[in-house]
Amino acid sequence: MNLLELKPITTQMLKAVVELDQLCFGGLWTMAGYEREIDSPNADLLGLSLRGYPVLIGMGCLWAIVDEAHITILAIHPRYQSQGFGQFILLAMLRLAQKRGLERASLEVRTSNKGAIALYQKFGFKTAGIRKRYYSDTGEDALILWKGGLQEVEFVQNVTTWQQELRSRIVKDTGYQLRVH
């Protein structure tokens, strides 16, 4: 059985984390930056990998700031994009935010990243503003996206339903079983 595991990233996984960061973002964060995330009580850093293999398929990070989950990273290896894994990690991060008692989520995304924008909008994120020339590598603007109501009963139930439906779809489409630690 092919088993994908979503679990907190540890220091033993840092080499794979930095490799995925380099592949997806061109080296957005350093190893020391990821070490700080692992050590921070206000951060959740998750990695998705095939059991028994050192390569990360995807990762996500959120910061708990007062009553907000600020999603700082959502990355999927290019070979595994458009298969539901980004949705799976995003929903897991929203579930962690709910467990932390956070009320809303925010993030920045490149204005050119239409696939990511569509993903976030699918789960209720709305445009709250634009950060001009936010990305130093290209000078590209970032959309600021927000999602409120994380603790509302309907949204909590929706996240559970979406996770179940997504698990079924991923198993059917890819053959991978999913486990969250």
Residue 178 in tokens: 């999913």
Distance CA 132, CA 151 (A): 31
Residue 62 in tokens: 């959120």
Told to judge if 80 belongs to the known catalytic residues of this protein, a careful annotator would answer no
**From the candidates 34, 37, 80, 120, which is the catalytic residue?**
120
**From the candidates 5, 35, 108, 140, which is the catalytic residue?**
108
Told to judge if 108 belongs to the known catalytic residues of this protein, a careful annotator would answer yes
Report the amino acid identity of residue 44: D
Q: How far apart are the first and last CA of the chain?
A: 18
Residue with tokens 């489409």: 173
Distance CA 116, CA 25 (A): 14
What residues are labeled active site? Answer: 108, 120
